[in-house]
Amino acid sequence: MKKKLSKQQLEVMKILWNSDTPLIASEIVKKHENLNINTVQACLRVLIKAEAIEVADIVYSGTVLSRSYRPLISKDEYCKDTYKNILGDTSRSVLFASLINSETDPLELDKLQDMISKRKSEIGEK
């Protein structure tokens, strides 16, 4: 995905990312107090056009048929693309240093250290 999402589009994507099943627009509205049905439907149209989501199925919502939606890109993919676009050719170590310096949970820092060690061994560095 090349386009940066608006704040509301990102909220819709977060709801879809956190759901185990595809959701219809009214279910998305119920999961976020600051979104209304018109906003969600507009966001869904833009997200479909951007190929960030797809119509998963047509389901009944009461007596009315509704589209249900699921994401086509993962949260990790979106974050990676967004940070790549922000950083450009800048060293990624600046981003990682910022994340590490803001982290206050020693367990999270251990996870990061384990990921770095694992990746180093995958690419043949010790």
Does the domain spanning 7-71 belong to CATH 1.10.10.10? yes
Read off the pLDDT of residues 7-47 as tens digits, 9 standing for 90 and up.
999 999 999 999 999 999 999 999 998 899 999 999 999 99
Question: What percent of the chain clears pLDDT 70, i.e. is strictly above it?
Answer: 92
Please report the pLDDT score of residue 94 as a whole number.
75
Q: Show the CA angle centred on residue 88, arms to residues 83 and 90, nearest 5°.
A: 100
Q: Which residue is it, tokens 């119509």?
A: 55
Q: Which of 69, 5, 7, 53 is nearest to 34 (CA)?
A: 7
Please report the pLDDT score of residue 97 as a whole number.
82
Please report the pLDDT score of residue 89 as a whole number.
65
Q: Which residue has the higher pLDDT, 81 or 72?
A: 72
Ordered by start, the domain boundaries in the chain are 7-71, 75-122
Please report the pLDDT score of residue 17 as a whole number.
97
Read off the pLDDT of residues 42-61 as tens digits, 9 standing for 90 and up.
999 999 999 999 999 999 98
